[in-house]
């Protein structure tokens, strides 16, 4: 885990004026982790929200290269909810791209499922970029899509300009937005389109994915449609369409999403519209998360007080936050398990992280530490692993 933290200036307007609203904290992995917390802040000049005092971009690049959770090999690159999300994105995009010969680049494409959906709709000139070589292999094997293994900062200039560049659930992850935007501007051909989809900060309160989960290990930029448009103006990208939508991630879980389409023009603009909604939304979300977290802490306190030996399934944002902010660190945890193979062999607070298969040799109850995938995990325990360990649900 990187200990070298940087104080950030606003990525939208460049101002150092800011207000801190919340201190998010995590208990890190033995190796391969990213950060132990940050300050949720808003810019005093333009209203953009972002995580402050975090590692440099190089630490994020290494994390996504070595610890990617987006391969999802245990469910063939993605489940049904993932397919539905990509179909909705394709529906929105093809309205503005009637020419099926358009060159389309998906930056940060994960397993390439969006490109696979577009191919099914007749768009054959599609290409993906992702830092994970496993994602690239899955994209080829599952969807017949070519994916180049690069970070968003070292995309080869020889690729030329594209008619459409998509950035789906990426921009909220990037520490250093200036080189990203400079590269994106060059990748979009003159008159071409940039499609950006991101969590909708103004509707964080509508999220059903658990308390404080929008302040994740990876989400470090909190965009509204206004702040995103402000950023794009600096690079000659003019917003031509924007809409809000709730996207399912698993079961009945919904995540508020905002999508915008930009056309590349000739002149950049420095004319900002102050984002009045982000700070109000973040303050409301923090208060609601704090209240919702109380019921989770009651369950954890009971486990600690009984000293019952347990296994905890899940070592991502949710668990690392609880290990740093609740009594979970004092529970009698025999082991952690997680489906992401990148975690195996590491430890959290000195406790080993193992593959789910080890549950066949364990009798301890399993605390499912996931507000989104708890139903999927419970099914995996019963139907795939065939284990009868008691499941303890936090939600």
pLDDT tens by residue, the chain, 395 residues:
545 788 999 999 999 999 999 999 999 888 888 899 999 999 999 999 999 999 999 898 888 877 766 555 444 455 677 888 899 999 999 999 999 999 999 999 999 999 999 999 999 999 999 988 888 999 999 999 999 998 888 888 888 899 999 999 999 999 999 999 999 999 999 999 999 999 999 999 988 788 999 999 999 999 999 999 999 999 999 999 999 988 776 556 778 999 999 999 866 666 889 999 999 999 999 999 999 999 999 999 999 999 999 999 999 999 999 999 999 999 999 999 999 999 999 999 999 999 999 999 999 999 999 998 899 999 999 999 999 999 999 99
My answer on whether 101 and 199 are in the same domain is: yes
Domain enclosing residue 256, as ranges: 66-270
Q: Residues 89, 139: one domain? A: yes
Residue 45 lies in a domain: no
Q: Is residue 338 part of a domain?
A: yes
Q: Is residue 5 part of a domain?
A: no
The reported pTM is 0.90
- pLDDT at res. 82: 82
Task: Give the per-residue pLDDT at 74.
Answer: 42
pLDDT score at 4:
78
Indicate whether 219 belongs to any domain: yes
Shared domain for 141 and 206, answered yes or no, is yes
| 255 in the same domain as 145 | yes
Same domain, 319 and 187: no
Residues 346 and 250 in one domain: no
Q: What integer pLDDT is reported at residue 252 of this predicted model? A: 60
Co-location of 117 and 230 in the same domain: yes
pLDDT tens across 218-264, in order?
A: 999 999 999 999 999 999 999 999 999 887 765 567 789 999 999 99
Specify if 127 maps to a domain: yes
In a domain, 53, yes or no: no
Q: What is the pLDDT of residue 75?
A: 46
Give the Cα separation of 181 and 190 in Å (integer). Answer: 15
CA 232 from centroid of its chain's CA atoms:
21
Helix (H, G, I), strand (E, B) or coil at 376: helix
- Structure-derived torsion over alpha carbons of residues 52, 72, 171, 214, reported in degrees to the nearest 10: -50
- Rg over CA atoms, the chain: 21
Q: At 215, which CATH number? A: 3.40.50.150
Are both 220 and 114 inside the same structural domain? yes
**So what's the pLDDT on residue 73?**
47
Residues 247 and 318 in one domain: no
Q: Answer with the one of 222, 255, 270 that is the final residue of a domain.
A: 270
- Same domain flag for 113 and 194: yes
| Domain contains 251 | yes
Question: Residue 69 has what pLDDT?
Answer: 60
Which residue among 270, 286, 319 closes a domain? 270
Tell me, yes or no, whether 322 and 210 share the same domain: no
pLDDT score, position 255: 85
d(CA 177, CA 181): 6
- The alpha carbon dihedral of 64, 216, 47, 92 has a sign of positive
Q: What is the distance between the alpha carbons of residues 92 and 189, in angstroms, rounded to a whole number?
A: 20
Beta-carbon contacts of residue 71 (< 8 Å; ≥ 6 apart): 77, 110, 111, 132, 134, 135, 138
Domain termination site, one of 220, 242, 270: 270
pLDDT at 249: 62
Return the CATH number at 370. Answer: 3.40.50.720
Q: In terms of domains, do 242 and 343 share one?
A: no
What pLDDT is stored for residue 311 in this prediction? 98
Q: Quick check: is 350 in a domain?
A: yes
| Number of separate domains in the chain | 2
């Amino acid at each position: 885990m990187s200990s070298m933290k940087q104080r950030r200036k606003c990525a939208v307007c460049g101002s150092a004026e800011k207000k801190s609203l919340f201190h998010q904290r995590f208990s890190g992995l033995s190796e391969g982790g990213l950060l132990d917390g940050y300050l949720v802040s808003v810019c005093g000049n333009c209203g953009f929200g972002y995580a402050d005092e975090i590692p440099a971009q190089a630490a994020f690049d290494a994390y996504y290269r070595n610890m990617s959770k987006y391969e999802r090999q245990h469910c063939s690159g993605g489940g049904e909810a993932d397919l539905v999300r990509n179909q909705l994105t394709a529906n929105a995009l093809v309205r503005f791209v009637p020419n099926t010969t358009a060159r389309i680049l998906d930056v940060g494409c994960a397993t390439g499922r969006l490109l696979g959906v577009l191919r099914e709709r007749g768009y054959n000139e599609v290409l993906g970029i992702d830092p994970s070589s496993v994602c690239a292999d899955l994209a080829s094997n599952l969807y017949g899509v070519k994916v180049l293994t690069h970070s968003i900062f070292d995309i080869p200039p020889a690729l030329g300009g594209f008619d459409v560049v998509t950035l789906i659930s990426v921009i909220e992850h990037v520490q250093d937005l200036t080189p990203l935007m400079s590269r994106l501007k060059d990748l979009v051909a003159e008159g071409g389109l940039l499609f950006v989809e991101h969590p909708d900060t103004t509707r964080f309160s509508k999220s059903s994915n658990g308390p404080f989960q929008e302040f994740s290990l990876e989400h470090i930029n909190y965009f509204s449609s206004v702040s995103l448009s402000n950023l794009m103006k600096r690079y000659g990208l003019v917003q031509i369409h924007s809409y809000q939508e709730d996207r399912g991630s698993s079961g009945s879980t919904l995540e508020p999403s905002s999508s915008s389409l930009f056309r590349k023009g000739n002149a950049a603009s420095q004319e900002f519209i102050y984002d009045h909604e982000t700070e109000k939304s973040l303050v409301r979300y923090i208060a609601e998360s704090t209240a919702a977290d109380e019921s989770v802490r009651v369950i954890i306190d009971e486990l600690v007080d009984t000293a019952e030996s347990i296994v905890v399934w899940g070592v991502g944002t949710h668990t690392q936050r609880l290990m740093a902010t609740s009594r979970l660190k004092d529970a009698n945890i025999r082991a952690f398990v997680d489906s992401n193979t990148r975690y195996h062999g590491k430890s959290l607070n000195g406790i080993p992280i193992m593959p789910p298969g080890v549950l066949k040799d364990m009798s301890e109850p399993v605390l499912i530490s996931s507000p989104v995938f708890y139903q999927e995990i419970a099914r995996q325990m019963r139907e795939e692993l065939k284990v009868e360990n008691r499941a303890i649900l936090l939600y």
